[in-house]
């Protein structure tokens, strides 16, 4: 029973490039959350998605950041024109629940983005 899978685990980008982070939820989970963690800080909510729908993106910057969770395939967090301040660990979590999430989160191992 595979857990939440994130890739890449580490990503290095130069300023101005694009970063794409992928997340496959646990089998049977249709609720996906993305969180960002800066060094020495807690996890900050970015976006909550269900299959094909963005439910809440209140924590995601309006510019350069986008997220999707297509009917087939993993959820993707995309950061365009990266800047040094985007360097962080990006964690994906999934939650069980048919229509509404149960609220229990299961995390992947994170993707660590470094912007040079």
Partner 1 sequence: GIQVEQSPPDLILQEGANSTLRCNFSDSVNNLQWFHQNPWGQLINLFYIPSGTKQNGRLSATTVATERYSLLYISSSQTTDSGVYFCAVELRGSYIPTFGRGTSLIVHP
Binding footprint of partner 1 on the chain (CB under 8 A): 33, 35, 41-45, 48, 55-56, 58, 89, 91, 100-107, 109-110, 112
**Residue number with CB closer to partner 1 (1 or 58):** 58
| Cβ 16 to partner 1 shortest distance, Å | 27
Closer of 66 and 106 to partner 1 (Cβ) = 106
How many other β-carbons are positioned within 10 Å of the β-carbon of residue 39? Answer: 7
Which pair of tokens denotes residue 102? 């149960």
Q: How far is the CB of 56 from partner 1 (least distance, A)?
A: 6
Measured between alpha carbons, how far is residue 12 from residues 2, 42, 88, 93, 113 in Å?
26, 22, 11, 22, 6
């Amino acid at each position: 029973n595979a857990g939440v899978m994130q890739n890449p685990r580490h990503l290095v980008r130069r300023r101005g490039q694009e970063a794409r982070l992928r997340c496959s939820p646990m089998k049977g989970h249709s609720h996906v959350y993305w969180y960002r963690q800066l060094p020495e800080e807690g996890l900050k909510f970015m976006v909550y998605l269900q299959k094909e729908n963005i439910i809440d993106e209140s924590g995601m910057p309006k510019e350069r950041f986008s997220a999707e969770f297509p009917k087939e395939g993993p959820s993707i967090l995309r950061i365009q024109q990266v800047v040094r301040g985007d360097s962080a660990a990006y964690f994906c979590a999934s939650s069980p629940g048919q229509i509404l999430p149960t609220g229990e989160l299961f995390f992947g191992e994170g993707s660590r983005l470094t912007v040079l």
